[in-house]
Amino acid sequence: MTLMTTLAQHVTRRPQRMALLEQIAVQGSITRAAKAAGLSYKAAWDAIDELNNLAEEPLVQRSVGGKGGGGAKLSAAGERLLVLYKRLENLQAQVLAAEDDHDLQLLGRLMLRTSARNQLSGRVRAIHPQGRNDLIDIELPGGAQIQAQITCDSTEKLELAEDRPVIALIKAGWLELNALSSAADPTRNQLQGWIEQIIPAADGPSEVRIGLASGQTLCALADASHLREQHLHASDPVRAQFAANQVLLGTPV
Instruction: Give residue-wise pLDDT tens across range 72-118.
Output: 899 999 999 889 888 887 777 776 666 566 676 666 555 556 778 89
Q: Judging by beta carbons within 10 Å of its beta carbon (0-12, 13-18, 19+), is residue 22 exposed, middle or buried?
A: middle
* 221 Cβ neighbours under 8 A, 6+ residues apart: 172, 173, 175, 204, 205, 206, 207, 208
Q: Nearest 5°: CA angle at 55, between 51 and 59?
A: 60
3-state secondary structure of 102: helix
Q: Residue 210: pLDDT above 70?
A: yes
Name the fold adopted by 3-110.
Answer: Arc Repressor Mutant, subunit A (1.10.10)
> Phi/psi at 185 (nearest 5 deg)?
-90, 110
Quote the pTM value. 0.72
* 111 Cβ neighbours under 8 A, 6+ residues apart: 10, 253
Average confidence (pLDDT) over 157-173: 93
Domain residue limits, the chain: 3-110, 116-253
pLDDT tens digits, 18-72? 899 999 999 999 999 999 998 998 889 888 988 888 888 899 997 765 554 558 8
Instruction: Establish whether domains 3-110 and 116-253 are of one fold.
Output: no
Question: pLDDT value at position 3?
Answer: 36
Q: Residue 120: pLDDT above 50?
A: yes
Question: pLDDT value at position 146?
Answer: 97
For the chain, what percent of residues have pLDDT higher than 70? Answer: 83
Give 191's strand partners: 240
Cβ of 77: how many Cβ atoms within 10 Å?
15
Half-sphere exposure of 85 toward its Cβ, with a 13 Å CA cutoff?
15
DSSP-derived letter for residue 209 is E
Which CATH number fits the domain 116-253, given the four candidates 2.40.50.100, 1.20.1600.10, 2.60.200.30, 3.20.80.10? 2.40.50.100
